[in-house]
Amino acid sequence: MVTIHPVKKALWTIVGLLSLGMAYVGVVTPGIPYSPFVVFAAYCFSKGSERMHRWIYNHKIFGPFLTNWGEKRVFPQKMKYFMLAMMSISLIIMSFTVPVKGVVYTGIFMVLVATWAWRYPSSVEEYDRRISTGRKVGWFNNSF
**How many distinct structural domains can be found in the chain?**
2
Domain range for 35 is 1-72
Do residues 19 and 54 share a domain?
yes
Between 65 and 103, the more confident residue is 103
Do residues 142 and 99 share a domain?
yes
Do residues 2 and 65 share a domain?
yes
Last residue of a domain, one of 52, 72, 92: 72
Q: Please say whether the beta carbons of 91 and 35 come within 8 A.
A: no
31-40, 111-120, 126-135, range with the lowest pLDDT = 31-40
Which residues, 6+ apart, have CB-to-CB distance to 77 below 8 Å? Answer: 122, 123
Is the per-residue pLDDT at 142 higher than 90? no
Do residues 62 and 115 share a domain?
no
Do residues 65 and 30 share a domain?
yes
Do residues 105 and 142 share a domain?
yes
Do residues 141 and 85 share a domain?
yes
Indicate the residue type of 45. Answer: F
Q: Please say whether the beta carbons of 22 and 38 come within 8 A.
A: no
Mean pLDDT to the nearest integer, 108-113: 92
Is the per-residue pLDDT at 10 higher than 90? yes
Do residues 80 and 121 share a domain?
yes
Is the per-residue pLDDT at 139 higher than 60? yes
pLDDT tens-place string over residues 31-80 = 677 888 999 999 999 999 999 999 999 999 889 889 988 888 898 898 88
Mean pLDDT to the nearest integer, 1-28: 89
pTM: 0.69
Do residues 63 and 85 share a domain?
no
CA nearest 35: which of 18, 22, 45, 44? 22
Last residue of a domain, one of 50, 72, 94: 72
* pLDDT (0 to 100) of residue 113: 87
Last residue of a domain, one of 20, 44, 72: 72
Do residues 30 and 58 share a domain?
yes
Q: Tell me the C-alpha distance between 32 and 24, whole Å.
A: 10
Do residues 138 and 115 share a domain?
yes
How does DSSP classify residue 60? T
Do residues 42 and 68 share a domain?
yes
